[in-house]
Amino acid sequence: MIMARETGTGSASTGRTLQVLETLVVTTAPVTLTELARRCGIPLATCSAIVASLEDRGYAQRSVVGRSHLWRPTLKLYGLGMQTLRRFELADESIPILNQLRDEVGLTAHLGVLDGAQVVYVAKAGTGTMVQFNTYPGRVSPYNVTALGKAIAAFSPEHQQQELLDQALPGHGPKGTGSSGRPLREEFGLIRERGFAVEDQEEEAGIACIAAPVLDRDGFAVAAVGVTGLEHQLMLDQRAGIARAVVRAADTVALSTGLRGS
């Protein structure tokens, strides 16, 4: 019973926060705290705490006119919305490129993006072979045990890299602490030097992956393209040729989606 009450209280608190934020967005002019609380139907003290939190997080802005404090939303939501939209656009635009990469190397191809410290698979071009992999759009994994995640992390801004390093988790494969045996920051440097990342049985035994970053005009990764196969398909003599094909595909995604000029 106590757990049920706590869960309900948490949900109500989240609902009130979203209600305040949505009300700010649809209100055409800056609004006082009293009016905002009235429109949301919540106590003034609750509304005050919520907008203060939104202000701290950059979602709301306060201006003082005389004795009145007026609130309005910021464009941070717009930025988040554009990031989400970009992911959908990337997934749609990448499909023919992933299909071409799959046909070129004969391996399952993916597009992935980072969501916090996890990589999310957003598009896939599978093969018709008997060997199938447990990968699908929407699957999430710790970024640091996947080639997709490491390719993005290595080409992220320095402050984001440090946050990711602090959140690294071990994988479940026999090399779950890292395919290279190097510290992760050192591996990021190697990835930047050669232009692609390698996953060698870090997440799952017998499975390997090669991935390259999809870079924007500033040279930062917004996604990664990768191919997945059995270890012997990717880690022997053919690795260099596969890596070149993956890098070309990632560059093509960047160019076709306007992330980077020709």
Q: Residue 162 and residue 93: Cα distance in Å, rounded?
A: 31
pTM for the full predicted model? 0.67
Ranges of CATH 3.30.450.40 domains, the chain:
81-256
pLDDT band at 250 (very low <50, low <70, confident <90, very high): very high
Res 232 pLDDT > 80: yes
Per-residue confidence (pLDDT) for residue 201, from 0 to 100: 87
* Cβ–Cβ under 8 Å, residues 253 and 111: yes
Residue range 171-186, pLDDT digits in tens: 555 555 544 445 888 9
Q: Could you give the percent of the chain with pLDDT greater than 70?
A: 84
pLDDT band at 83 (very low <50, low <70, confident <90, very high): low
Which residues, other chains included, contact 137 with Cβ-Cβ below 8 Å and sequence gap of 6+? 91, 121, 122, 123, 124
Q: Per-residue pLDDT averaged across 197-212, rounded?
A: 91
* Cβ–Cβ under 8 Å, residues 61 and 71: yes
φ and ψ at 209, to 5 degrees? -155, 150
Per-residue confidence (pLDDT) for residue 84, from 0 to 100: 64
One-letter-per-residue 3-state SS of 21-44: HHHHHHCCCCEEHHHHHHHHCCCH
Per-residue confidence (pLDDT) for residue 9, from 0 to 100: 46
**Looking at the domain 2-74, which fold is it?**
Arc Repressor Mutant, subunit A (1.10.10)
Residue range 90-114, pLDDT digits in tens: 888 899 999 999 999 999 999 999 9
Q: Per-residue pLDDT averaged across 178-199, rounded?
A: 83
255 CB-side CA count, 13 A: 8
In CATH, which superfamily holds the domain spanning 81-256?
Answer: GAF domain (3.30.450.40)
Res 219 pLDDT > 50: yes
Q: Residue 89 and residue 230: Cα distance in Å, rounded?
A: 30
Q: Residue 188 and residue 164: Cα distance in Å, rounded?
A: 11
Q: Residue 141 and residue 145: Cα distance in Å, rounded?
A: 8
Q: Could you give the percent of the chain with pLDDT greater than 90?
A: 52
**Residue 253's CB: how many other CB atoms inside 10 A?**
27
Residue range 119-165, pLDDT digits in tens: 989 899 988 776 667 778 888 899 999 999 999 999 999 888 988 98
* Cβ–Cβ under 8 Å, residues 101 and 245: yes
Residue type, 220: F
One-letter-per-residue 3-state SS of the chain: CHHHHHHHHHHHHHHHHHHHHHHHHHCCCCEEHHHHHHHHCCCHHHHHHHHHHHHHCCCEEEEEECCEEEEEECCHHHHHHHHHHHHHHHHHHHHHHHHHHHHHHCCEEEEEEEECCEEEEEEEECCCCCCCCCCCCCCEEEHHHCHHHHHHHHCCCHHHHHHHHHCCCCCCCCCCCCCCCCCHHHHHHHHHHHCCEEEECCCCCCEEEEEEEEECCCCCEEEEEEEEEEHHHHCCCCHHHHHHHHHHHHHHHHHHCCCCCC
Res 85 pLDDT > 60: no
Is the model more confident about 1 or about 250? 250
φ and ψ at 230, to 5 degrees? -70, 155
Residue range 9-32, pLDDT digits in tens: 456 788 899 999 999 988 888 999
Ranges of CATH 1.10.10.10 domains, the chain:
2-74
Q: Per-residue pLDDT averaged across 197-215, rounded?
A: 92
